[in-house]
Structure 1
C-alpha cells in the first residue's frame, strides 16, 4: 500500500510517494499541514490511516477519522493528551508516542500493519501417536511458542489455522482460530483460509509454521523491519541452510495474496516465489529454524531446550 507523504519529510518507508496515489493508501503529514491532510482524508474513502508528526497548537475536528488509524507524534505530553482525547471522541483508532520525531519502526508499524497466519492444520503423520503441535517446548505446547513469537515480534493480528480440536483447545484465546475443514487436501487450503480471514487493514501476511517453535520474536521483528523498508521486495523470508535458498517464516505483501489463492494441494508460497525469485528479499535468521516432523526432530529440540526438572518440597 502506498504511503503518501504530504510534507517535507524524508521517510525511507515501503511504498513512499510524494504524489497522490490511486487506490488504498495511508498519509503522513507534519502538524502544520494537518488541515490539508484532513481534507485529503475526507475526500478519499480509501485513505486507511494518517500519521501526524508534531501537533499544531490549535485543536482540530477529527471526525473524518472515525474508523481509521491515526498515529500521533509530539514531544509535548499535554498537547499529545489533548489530541488523543479528541481522536478517541471522534472514534479514531489512535496510537501515540511522545517524541520529537518518531522511531522508524513505530511509524512503519502504524502505517503498514502485518498479520500472522500460523499454519497448524497438518496431520502429524510422521509423528506416530502424537499431535506434534501439542508437544511441550520450553514449558508450553510448541504451537503456543509460535504464537508468542508472532505477538512479541510485532504482528497486529494472529490467526491459527487448525483442523484438530486438540489444537483448538491448546491455543485457546491466545490467537484467532480459523477452522479448515479441507485440511486433508494439503497446505494450500490452510494458507488460503488464513489469508481470507485477515482483516482488511493488514498490508502483509507473515506465514509461520506451527512446528517451528525455535523461531523467536527477534526473527519476526527482523522480517517486519526488512519488509517495511523503502525498496523492499513484495516478499521477505529467512535465509535457509543452502546458499541462495530461503525458509519460512515468509512475509507476503497483499499484492501477492491473489497468487496464493491459485495454489492447490500441498503447495505453499514457495511454489510461487521460487518461480519468481526477483520477488523475494532474504534476511539472516536470528534463531534456529528447525521444524519438528519426526520423533528424532523433537528429541533434538528437547536436548536444546530440556524440560525443567521438578522440584520436591521438603
Structure 2
C-alpha cells in the first residue's frame, strides 16, 4: 500500500494524566502498543516511536514491534519529538504517517485512507473527523525538512500546514480522535455515559 513509514509521538510525561501516556492502559493494551498496531495494520511498512519520559518502562512493557527513537529533549515540547522522529525516518521511505500516542480510538482504516491519498499523489494528507482536522497525517519526504524547521515548542506541523494549504488533502476518516489527557478522559472512554 505504498512505501510509507509510521511515526508515533510518545515522549511526553503526561503531567495531567499523572504518568507518561505511553504506559497508560486502555482496554487491556498500552496506548503505545495500540498506536503502533494501528499504524502497522493501516499499511505502514515500519513503525517508529519517539520515546522520552518513561522510555525504559515503555520499552520493557511493549508487546508490539517498533523502532524506538529516543528524545532526550522531550521536556522542551512536542516539536522536539517530531523533529527527532522525522530525522529518524529511513531514507528508503517516500513519506511518513504521523500519529499521537494518546488517541486510542484512531482506526487502522484512517491510516489506510491517508496512505491511499498519498498513493494518489497527495504530498500532505490530513485526516478529518466530522470536518475537523486531526491525526493521522501524511507527509512526503520532500516536506520533512520544512516541517522540522517550522516546529517550535508544542507546535508540530501546524504552522507548515497553515502556510501550505494548497498542498493539503483532507481525508474523511472513521473513528474518534479524542485525546486521553487525564484519568477522567480514560474513564469516559471505558465507561461512556448512557445517551
Q: Counterpart of 2:24?
A: 135
**Residues 44-100 of structure 1, C-alpha deviations (whole Å, 9 max, x = no match):** xxxxxxxxxxxxxxxxxxxxxxxxxxxxxxxxxxxxxxxxxxxxxxxxxxxxxxxxx
CA contact (8 A) 2:22 2:58 kept: yes
Q: Counterpart of 2:10?
A: 120
Q: Counterpart of 2:51?
A: 162
Q: For residues 78 and 62 of structure 2, what CA distance do their matches in structure 1 show?
A: 19
Q: Which consecutive unaligned segments of at least 5 residues does structure 1 have?
A: 1-108, 305-314
Aligned-pair CA distance for 1:172: 5.5
Q: Counterpart of 2:101?
A: 210
Which of 167, 176, 189 pairs up with 1:288? 176
Q: Which consecutive unaligned segments of at least 5 residues does structure 2 have?
A: none
3-state DSSP of counterpart to 1:272: helix
Q: 1:255 aligned to 2:146?
A: no
**Residues 75-128 of structure 1, C-alpha deviations (whole Å, 9 max, x = no match):** xxxxxxxxxxxxxxxxxxxxxxxxxxxxxxxxxx3xx41001100001101113
TM-score, normalising length from structure 1?
0.57
3-state DSSP of counterpart to 1:264: coil
Q: Counterpart of 2:127?
A: 238
| Equivalences for residues 184-203 of structure 1 within 5 A | 184-203=75-94
| Equivalences for residues 1-314 of structure 1 within 5 A | 109=1, 112-128=2-18, 130-163=19-52, 164=54, 165-171=56-62, 174-229=65-120, 232-241=121-130, 243=131, 245-262=132-149, 263-303=151-191
- Residues paired across the two proteins, number: 189
CA contact (8 A) 2:36 2:64 kept: no
Q: Which has the higher contact order (CA 8 A, sep 6+)?
A: 2
Aligned-pair CA distance for 1:173: 5.9
Q: For residues 105 and 72 of structure 2, what CA distance do their matches in structure 1 show?
A: 28
CA contact (8 A) 2:16 2:181 kept: yes
Aligned-pair CA distance for 1:279: 1.5
Aligned-pair CA distance for 1:138: 2.4
TM-score, normalising length from structure 2?
0.90
Q: Counterpart of 1:12?
A: none
Aligned-pair CA distance for 1:254: 0.7
Aligned-pair CA distance for 1:233: 2.9
3-state DSSP of counterpart to 1:261: helix
Q: For residues 174 and 280 of structure 1, what CA distance do their matches in structure 2 show?
A: 30
What is the root-mean-square deviation in Å for CA atoms of aligned residues? 1.6
CA contact (8 A) 1:157 1:198 kept: no
Structure of higher CA gyration radius: 1
